Amino acid sequence: MKARLGRFSPVRLAHRPTRIEPLANLGRALGLDLWVKRDDLTGIGAGGNKARQLDYYAGAAIREGADTLLITGAVQSNFTAMTAAYAARLGLACHVQLEDRVPDPRPLYRENGNVVLDQLLGAEIDTFPVGEDEAAADRALREKADGVRRAGRSPYVIPLGAENPPLGALGYVEAALELREQMRALPSMDAIILASGSGLTHVGLLYGLRALGVSIPVIGICVRRCANLQRERVAARLVSLGELMGAPSKAVPGDIRLSDATLAPGYGQLNQAVRDAIKLSAQHAGLMLDPVYTGRAMAGLIELQRSDALPGPRVLFWHTGGLPALFAYSDQLV
């Protein structure tokens, strides 16, 4: 698997390995033996899981001779800010397209959090008025790339839609190798819990673990779409990732485990379970979670525990970052 990954020549900016730490106090509050994988501490920009993905996207951009990165995402996207940070580190220009995914956003949402980082990092920013049409967002981004090309520059587009090759998922295939090594010194985990949105973190980790013969359940907490739609997306992306890797996925349908119990009212919109999870994690572990991904993932973990739906009490929570978004929701949290 290392040899297959090496063919893609990623850059090596993300800090690896990220720590695995016990969360004893929070675990006691939840009745769990709880651990956390600190992918919020990947070292570039404000940190987060997208660094592992961007190592591969940036590697491809450099191989193609690109001088400009283009990406689309929600207004409070961690991915866009991380891409701008990678561009700054690598001496590239960056164009960020911010989609209107959250209905009736407040001024704070539009002006704070990751938007401030996009601006500080020098990204060129524009908006896209649709939030639930990935193909349209990708088309608009490619039109902007055409404009970059006409201006004599060399663009590289980081696409959003599920029809694109899942290059970013390779970062989490690699993370599976890292996790296997770390777990040699840890007690056996009963489950891994993570946020499942675009699906590439979920898909890459599941593909990698099953390829390594590791059977720990990986449970995705839905942050953007219902479990039925997300299951279809994850299944399709596993097939695409197998094609990209040159080795079919060893995951079976029963390996795709999802919960959407804490999804309503929808992407980027707070509910009481998410508020409670963010405050509980802060006050019992000093662990900062964001309202869009990790706060919802922790709320999903808590709901699985409450409904006795976890495979066992020893749980690894995969912290995918997102701290800056807290400040765009501060008026709804404190």
Residues marked as catalytic:
77
The b/e string for 183-222 (b: 16+ C-beta within 10 A; e otherwise) is eeeeeebbbbbbbbbbbbbbbbbbbbbbbeebebbbbbbb
Can you say whether the dihedral through the CA atoms of 327, 305, 177, 229 is positive or negative? negative
Backbone angles phi, psi at 214, to 5 degrees: -95, 125
Q: Where are the beta strands (DSSP E) in the chain?
A: 20-22, 33-38, 68-74, 93-99, 124-128, 155-158, 191-196, 218-222, 257-259, 314-319
User: CA–CA separation, 93 vs 153, rounded Å?
Assistant: 10
Tokens found for residue 107: 């001024």
Residue 70: strand pairing partners:
95, 157
Q: Any residues with CB less than 8 A from the CB of 334 and at least 6 apart, and which?
A: none
Q: What's at 166, amino acid-wise?
A: P
| DSSP symbol at 37 | E
User: CA–CA separation, 219 vs 206, rounded Å?
Assistant: 9
Q: Of 39, 60, 62, which is closest to residue 51 (Cα–Cα)? A: 39
Q: What's at 92, amino acid-wise?
A: L
Q: Is 90 exposed, middle or buried (0-12, 13-18, 19+ CB in 10 A)?
A: middle
Note whether 174 and 207 are within 8 A (CB). no
User: CA–CA separation, 334 vs 108, rounded Å?
Assistant: 14
